[in-house]
Chains A and B, each alone.
Chain A
Amino acid sequence: MKTSRLLVAALLTNSVCAMLALLPSLANAQTEFETTIYQFSGDAVKGYLQPAADLFGANMFAGQFRSAEIPTTGFNIAFDIVGMAALVGDDQKNYTATTPTNFTPRTFNTATIFGGTGTTVVNSSIPALSYRGPDGIINASVVPLAVPQLRVGSLYGTEAFVRFVRIPQSLTDKFPDVTLFGAGLRHSLSQYFPEIPLDVAVGVFYTTFKTGDLVDFKGYSFGLQGSKSFSLLTVYGGFAYESCTMKLQYTSTDPNVPGRLVDVSLDGQNTFRATAGAALSLGVFHIFADVNLGNVTNFSGGIGVGF
């Protein structure tokens, strides 16, 4: 049990680490991370951070369910620690960046936030002039996230679940307040079709992530879920549509940015996911894991207690 607590603590710590890296404003207002982003124009920051929006967004929607069985009535409650991990693809380590106005070439290939060393490009007309892209910040093959999730039901075959993480600035002198929130509803369809040999439910989910004035992430999903239980084992899966946007607002220090104000929205690449997983129930304890396939492949899993 002590080991389990340590694992949860480590996962949560890594979530902060990943979020810190992905979302630079987690560092305090004067840190290098935030100042790093301020160097970017709107176009540049889009390319540099787009993979972060894709992978973080895919994680935010993972782990919503480990069964489609929702009792019609009665008090049911469960508490899960859900861990997610999105794979960083090679194509997410570089992007086509734009050089300053009138620079030749107009674009060059350089590192994203997940990439390696930034590329230095030399002006083809005047070789003395050169321009460099930033190095990648995160060295990772996966982007992790962990959230606590509370599930409460049931009323007419409907249950609600919430996720909430708040990291106050007072917890560490490095990070300002960070708030992750998610809430969803699931409703049993199989209650209307008792002849169906598996449990079926539909769900809707809304989630936000906010830190400082720089990053405002919002997203929603809805989907169809199914599961079949065999003694201790439950096999589950589903399909979902999802949409998320990471909004960035800041005053750029790039002298080439007209008005210096950057206001960009990064839409997460993942819009559809197919989920397949399995859960093991040992009394009130549960352990589960699943894979989510879509434009972004990610995995989720966790441990929980509940009935």
Chain B
Amino acid sequence: MKARILLLALLAAVMTYGSSCINEGFLIPVNLSINNCYLVTSTTIGLIDTSPKSFALSTLIDESFRDNIKGARYYDIRVSSTGNFTGNIVGTVSVSSPQSPTQQVLLYVGGGANNTNPVPWSTFSTPQTLLGASPYVRTSAAGVGVLVAALDRMVTDSNTSITLYVTGQTSGATSLPSGLSVCVEILGQVDARINGGDGN
């Protein structure tokens, strides 16, 4: 009889354990990479033209996480160039969203105290990053605000999006070779809730 009681107690303990071994509603930061290489379509030295690129943010993470987003953040922005060009460049990366349709400068790309002076194109053959404390990139509060707001909106709106623009000016050479690109990558994390939970 005692053995039976002991077994029943063990059974209850084991079954209770089994129902609670996985945390309810735990958060996993899912890597988010917003990136695009903008082809320079201009053929002459001066203003450069690129096509804006829109990103539906939730499509950048695994489908299984899209309806369970509880937070988002970014932790780096990287700018790099592809293609050989002996001249210089200065420019900006701008951002907009459906909620903030006016383009706001997210990143100044260039040299000098305000990052508005032309620097050699080859400077960006190695990615210049915020985390690397690059002197050639600097964020603007207005653009960061648009970016952060869009990331925050992922919690309530799985269709939220942003559009990134690259504009700039080349100098220091007589001609602009074809095939040049400016690549922008925003690295972030999206907190996905796993295994149910109360939604907090």
What is A's interface to B at a CB cutoff of 8 Å?
A: 3-4, 6-7, 10-11, 13-14, 17-18, 20-21, 30-33, 35-36, 39, 100-103, 117-118, 120, 123, 125-126, 128-140, 142, 144, 253-256
Contacts and interface: CB of A to CB of B under 8 A. Distances in A.
Nearest to B187: A255
B64 A35 contact: yes
Nearest to B77: A129
B7 A103 contact: no
Contacts of B28: 32, 36, 39, 134-135
Interface in B119-144: 129-133, 139, 144
A229 to B, nearest CB: 21
26 contacts: A10-B14, A10-B15, A10-B18, A30-B64, A32-B28, A32-B194, A35-B64, A35-B65, A36-B194, A102-B76, A102-B129, A102-B131, A117-B27, A126-B131, A128-B144, A128-B148, A129-B131, A131-B189, A136-B26, A137-B23, A137-B194, A138-B23, A139-B22, A139-B23, A140-B17, A140-B21
A130 B133 CA distance: 15
B55 interface: no
Contacts of B74: 129
B22 A138 contact: yes
B54 to A, nearest CB: 20
Given A20-B22, A255-B187, 18 more contacts: A10-B15, A14-B14, A18-B21, A100-B131, A102-B132, A103-B75, A118-B29, A129-B73, A129-B130, A131-B75, A134-B28, A135-B27, A137-B23, A137-B26, A139-B20, A139-B23, A253-B31, A256-B187
Given A10-B11, A30-B64, A135-B28, A17 B22 contact: yes
Contacts of A11: 14
A7 B11 contact: yes
Nearest to A255: B33
Interface in B58-90: 62, 64-65, 73-76
Interface string B2-27: 00100110110011011011110011
A130 B73 contact: yes
B39 interface: no
A33 B22 CA distance: 11
Nearest to B10: A7
B10 to A, nearest CB: 6
Interface of B: 4, 7-8, 10-11, 14-15, 17-18, 20-23, 26-31, 33, 62, 64-65, 73-76, 129-133, 139, 144, 148, 185, 187, 189, 191-192, 194-195
Contacts of B30: 35, 39, 253
A131 B8 CA distance: 46
A6 B23 contact: no
Given A14-B21, A21-B21, A123 B7 contact: no
A139 B194 CA distance: 14
A32 B29 CA distance: 12
Contacts of B132: 101-102
Contacts of B130: 126, 129
Contacts of B4: 3
Contacts of B33: 255
Interface centre among B8, B14, B132, B187 (most CB of A within 10 A): B14
A13 B22 CA distance: 13
A21 B187 CA distance: 28
Contacts of B185: 255
Given A129-B130, A132-B191, A135-B26, A255 B31 contact: yes
Contacts of A140: 17, 21
A35 B29 CA distance: 11
Contact of A32 (B11, B64, B144): B64
Contacts of B18: 10, 13-14, 17
Nearest to A37: B28
A63 B73 CA distance: 47
Contact of B21 (A17, A120, A129): A17
B76 A100 contact: yes
Contacts of A129: 73-76, 130-131
A117 B197 CA distance: 14
A125 B134 CA distance: 12
A35 B192 CA distance: 11
A124 B186 CA distance: 19
A137 B22 contact: yes
